[in-house]
Amino acid sequence: MLPQLTDTNGKCLNCGVALHGNFCVQCGQRASTKRINFKETLNSFLGLTFSLDGPLLLTIKLLFVNPGKLFREYIGGKRKTYYKPVAFFVLVTAIYLLLRASINFDPLEDEFVNNGQENLSGLEAKIEEAARLVSENINNFMFFLVFSIAFMLKLFFRKTYNLAEYTSIGLFIVGAYTLLKIITMFIAKFALVDIDNIELVILVLLIFYSSFSLFKSFNFWSMAKYSLVSFLSLVL
Query: What is the binding site for Zn ion (CB under 5 A)?
Result: 12, 14-15, 24, 26-27, 29
**Is 209 buried (19+), middle (13-18) or exposed (0-12) by CB count in 10 A?**
middle
Nearest CA-CA partner of 232 in 212, 204, 213 = 204
- The least distance separating Zn ion from the CB of residue 6, rounded to whole angstroms, comes to 15
Residues 6+ apart with CB under 8 A from 160: 215
Backbone angles phi, psi at 52, to 5 degrees: -65, -35
- The least distance separating Zn ion from the CB of residue 13, rounded to whole angstroms, comes to 8
Nearer to Zn ion (CB atom), residue 26 or residue 49: 26
Q: Provide the strand spans (E) within the chain.
A: none
Nearer to Zn ion (CB atom), residue 15 or residue 42: 15
- The least distance separating Zn ion from the CB of residue 27, rounded to whole angstroms, comes to 3
Nearer to Zn ion (CB atom), residue 25 or residue 182: 25
DSSP reduced 3-state for 196? helix
Nearer to Zn ion (CB atom), residue 14 or residue 44: 14
How far from 154 is each of 21, 147, 233, 235, CA to CA, in Å?
43, 10, 11, 16
DSSP reduced 3-state for 24? coil
- The least distance separating Zn ion from the CB of residue 82, rounded to whole angstroms, comes to 23
Residues 5, 33 contacting (CB under 8 angstroms): yes
Nearer to Zn ion (CB atom), residue 18 or residue 205: 18
- The least distance separating Zn ion from the CB of residue 86, rounded to whole angstroms, comes to 23
